[in-house]
């Protein structure tokens, strides 16, 4: 696999890094903290996720503001800003409709986006997520736990010695190998600065979407590991009770980041594939294009420029660019030669 890393600009001027890989129907993953698009690519913890999610699908993922390759020094952190960043990424890719995945802290963002844009989200998948942050669970122990976490972040997040960060590693992946532990320790240091990590963590734990979740009308699948220590199982169960008709799947395990060699991982993929449906793209199956997209692609095949296509269809060049970007994602092509590759696949798909 190869990924294409690009940038877009949020409504407040913050630059967001996003990446595209795979091929097939689009799956967008809402951002969480502790990500780095480049560092994650060869990760012993995330590699099987990146491969599994992209099996027959085009995956779009991005670094949260303040993290990874996105701008680090940001003025505001809130659920509204997180949703606006997701909107910016989706608009930059030109996607019109897609499945949306919210893992961990990305879950509330995904829920809020699905409520705002029900026409764009075909399916909603939530894993290891919650409706209430630690400060909204009405638990004194949860509040003390958060304060202890923030103190550890402030004291040791940026140090070369991983002792402080190892607490988070054992919390998120207690069954990790020594190699995976070292990688996750390093990810914490690389993903963001200590001050920003504290801000992000506190902002996430002040979220409460209990009133928003019942407004979801998108078909929803929720999965959660029974022994998850990072996000308690009961919080995932609560989220499932709040979203109308959501299907809840308990997974046997205790890792917040599912490992490739544990039984919960193939079960997760089986449930995901069954819920999203068959999305693989072959040379004989054309991805679903809207009538407008099909018209744009046929004119592109005739060699017309974007300007000429816009004039022929009485649209703006910007609209043509968005249609083409959406087509490229659906066909799983990017970069130089994307138009030629999409045209070739389009006509191969029409061949008997």
Write out pLDDT tens, residues 14-66: 999 999 999 999 999 999 988 999 999 989 999 999 999 999 999 999 999 99
Adjacent-strand bridge partners of 27: 59, 99
With a cut of 90, say whether residue 331 has pLDDT above it. Answer: no
| Closest by Cα among 12, 165, 20 to 76 | 12
* Mean pLDDT comparison of 127-141, 150-164, 279-293, highest-scoring range: 127-141
- Strand extents, DSSP E, the chain: 3-9, 15-22, 25-29, 57-62, 98-103, 121-127, 220-225, 247-251
**Torsion sign across C-alpha atoms 105, 85, 65, 16:** positive
Structure confidence at residue 284 as a pLDDT band (50, 70, 90): very low
Task: Judge whether 58 and 277 are in contact, CB under 8 Å.
Answer: no
C-alpha pair distances (Å), 90 with each of 19, 29, 98, 251, 286: 11, 10, 9, 30, 22
Q: Which two tokens stand for residue 350?
A: 């029409």
**pLDDT, average across residues 64-69:** 95
Give the pLDDT score at 298: 86
**Domains in the chain, CATH or no CATH each:** 3-133+207-276 (3.40.50.1820), 291-347 (1.10.10.10)
Structure confidence at residue 352 as a pLDDT band (50, 70, 90): very low
Give the pLDDT score at 290: 80
C-alpha pair distances (Å), 266 with each of 128, 250, 261, 270: 16, 13, 9, 6
**pTM given for the model:** 0.78
**pLDDT, average across residues 335-347:** 66
Give the pLDDT score at 109: 98
How far is residue 157's CA from residue 190's CA, in Å, rounded to a whole number? 10
Adjacent-strand bridge partners of 129: none
How far is residue 140's CA from residue 137's CA, in Å, rounded to a whole number? 9
Give the pLDDT score at 153: 81
Structure confidence at residue 324 as a pLDDT band (50, 70, 90): confident
14 CB burial (10 A radius; 0-12, 13-18, 19+): buried
List of long-range contacts for 274-280, beta carbons under 8 Å, 24+ apart: 275/123, 275/125, 275/219, 275/221, 275/247, 276/25, 276/27, 276/57, 276/99, 276/123, 276/125, 278/56, 279/24, 279/25, 279/56, 279/57, 280/24, 280/55, 280/56
With a cut of 90, say whether residue 209 has pLDDT above it. Answer: yes
Task: Judge whether 222 and 236 are in contact, CB under 8 Å.
Answer: yes
With a cut of 50, say whether residue 116 has pLDDT above it. Answer: yes
Least confident piece of the model among 146-150, 177-181, 205-209, 240-244: 146-150
**pLDDT, average across residues 308-320:** 91
With a cut of 80, say whether residue 302 has pLDDT above it. Answer: yes
| Closest by Cα among 45, 48, 103 to 266 | 48
Give the pLDDT score at 281: 37
Start-end of H helices in 277-316? 291-301, 306-313
């Amino acid at each position: 696999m190869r990924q294409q890393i690009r940038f877009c600009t949020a409504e407040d001027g913050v630059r967001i890094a996003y990446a595209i890989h795979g091929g097939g129907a689009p799956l967008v993953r809402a951002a969480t903290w502790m990500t780095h698009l480049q560092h994650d690519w060869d990760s012993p913890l995330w590699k099987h996720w990146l491969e599994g999610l992209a099996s027959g699908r085009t995956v779009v993922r991005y670094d949260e503001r303040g993290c990874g390759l996105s701008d680090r020094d940001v003025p505001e952190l809130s659920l509204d800003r997180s949703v606006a960043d997701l909107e910016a990424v989706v608009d930059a890719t030109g996607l019109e409709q897609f499945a949306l995945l919210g893992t961990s802290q990305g879950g509330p963002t995904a829920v809020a986006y699905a409520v705002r844009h029900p026409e764009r989200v075909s399916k909603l998948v939530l894993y290891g997520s919650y409706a209430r942050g630690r400060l909204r669970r009405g638990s004194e122990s949860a509040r003390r736990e958060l304060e202890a976490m923030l103190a550890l972040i402030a004291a040791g997040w940026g140090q070369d010695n991983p002792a402080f960060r190892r607490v988070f590693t054992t919390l998120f992946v207690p069954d990790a190998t020594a190699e995976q532990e070292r990688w996750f320790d390093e990810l914490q240091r690389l993903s963001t600065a200590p001050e920003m990590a504290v801000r992000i963590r506190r902002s996430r734990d002040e979220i409460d979407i209990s009133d928003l979740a019942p407004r979801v009308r998108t078909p929803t699948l929720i999965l959660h590991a029974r022994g998850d220590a990072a996000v308690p199982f009961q919080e995932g169960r609560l989220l499932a009770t709040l979203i109308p008709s959501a299907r809840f799947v308990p997974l046997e395990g205790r890792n917040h980041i599912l490992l490739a060699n544990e039984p919960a991982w193939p079960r997760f993929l089986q449930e995901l594939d069954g819920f999203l449906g068959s999305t693989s793209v072959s040379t004989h199956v054309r991805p679903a294009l809207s009538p407008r997209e099909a018209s744009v692609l046929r004119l592109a095949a005739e060699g017309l420029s974007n300007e000429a296509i816009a004039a022929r269809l009485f649209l703006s060049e910007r609209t043509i660019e968005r249609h083409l970007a959406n087509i490229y994602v659906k066909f799983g092509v990017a970069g130089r030669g994307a138009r030629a590759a999409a045209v070739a696949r389009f006509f191969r798909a029409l061949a008997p």
